[in-house]
Every structure is written in structure tokens, then in C-alpha cells.
Amino acid sequence: MENKEAGFSPELTAFILEWKDKPGNLIMLLHRIQEEYGFIPRSAAETLARMIDLPLAKIYGVVTFYHFFKTSKPGKNRIAICLGTACYLKGSQDLIDEARDLLNIEGDEVTDDGLFSIDAVRCIGCCGLAPVLQVGNEVFGKVQKDQIAEIIAKFRT
């Protein structure tokens, strides 16, 4: 069965089959795949293309257009740093630079131990707390550059 190739769970397979013929289904399906894996593995995109009879290029067009979707496995602790207007004006680029320096990674890299990755995001939705960063489900507001090391240390275990 085609779901074995990508290792889809029975729940994910059922979800795809349920949404297969609904208009505007692709983003919903990609969100669910990313929820399952933490990113969109190529094998999952290929299997999805076959299951919903859509060209792989169209799927990758959507995946690469939306910043939310990832094509490589993120670190165990994904640090999302907001670059929306309010956060940017209050110094969020400095937070990104500091986090990258402390973790010794660039761009979409993952730390050697697999614990951390950094994503510059457009909005976390907490503009009143700018600058904001999020690790997992925990949001940190009014973050100063000198607090980054302490925040990272909290998630090292």
C-alpha cells in the first residue's frame, strides 16, 4: 500500500483520504503531514502526490511558497524569532544574530546535537510584547539580546 513508503500512520492516511477530493485541500494536508513529521519529507510529498493525483512540482510550489512549511527536519527545540514590523523595530534581528552566534549555526541549519534550529518568522501574534521569540509552545516577550543564552540553556536538557 502506498502509505507504507512514506511511513504514514493509519490516522494520517485516513485524514488524507478524507480530504483527498475536497477543494483547497493541499494546505490542510501539508499542515497535517508536517504535524506528523515536524517537516515535509520528500517521501511524504511523493506519496501525497500519488494519493491525491497532483504533480509533485505543485506540492513543492506550495511548500516553498509558505514559510511555515519546512523541507528539512528542525531541531528538537525550534526557536522562532519574529521579524514582523514591531519586533524588527525593537531589535529582533539582533536576537537572531545572537542566537546563531551562541548556537554556532547559520540560516536553516540544526545544531550538531540536533537540539536547536532557528527560524525567522513574520509574526507570532504578540506585537505588544515585541521583540518576541518562541521555543516550542513557550513564548518569550520583550526579549533582550543578553537573555538569549539563558533561554537557550532552559531547553538544553
On average, the pLDDT of the chain sits at 92
Instruction: For domain 77-154, give the CATH number.
Output: 3.40.30.10
Output phi, psi for 155, to 5 deg. Answer: -105, 10
- 23-69 per-position pLDDT tens digit: 989 999 999 999 999 899 999 999 999 999 999 999 999 998 887 88
| Whole-prediction pTM | 0.73
What sections of the chain are H helices per DSSP? 3-6, 10-19, 25-37, 42-52, 56-65, 85-89, 92-103, 148-154
CATH 1.10.3470 fits 3-65, yes or no: no
Cell for 94?
539582533
What is the predicted pLDDT for the residue at 6?
A: 54
For 133-156, the pLDDT digits (tens) are 999 889 999 999 999 999 999 999
The shares of helix, strand and coil residues in the chain, as percent rounded to the nearest 5, are: 50, 10, 40
The pLDDT score that the predictor gives to residue 5 is 43
Domains of the chain by residue range: 3-65, 77-154
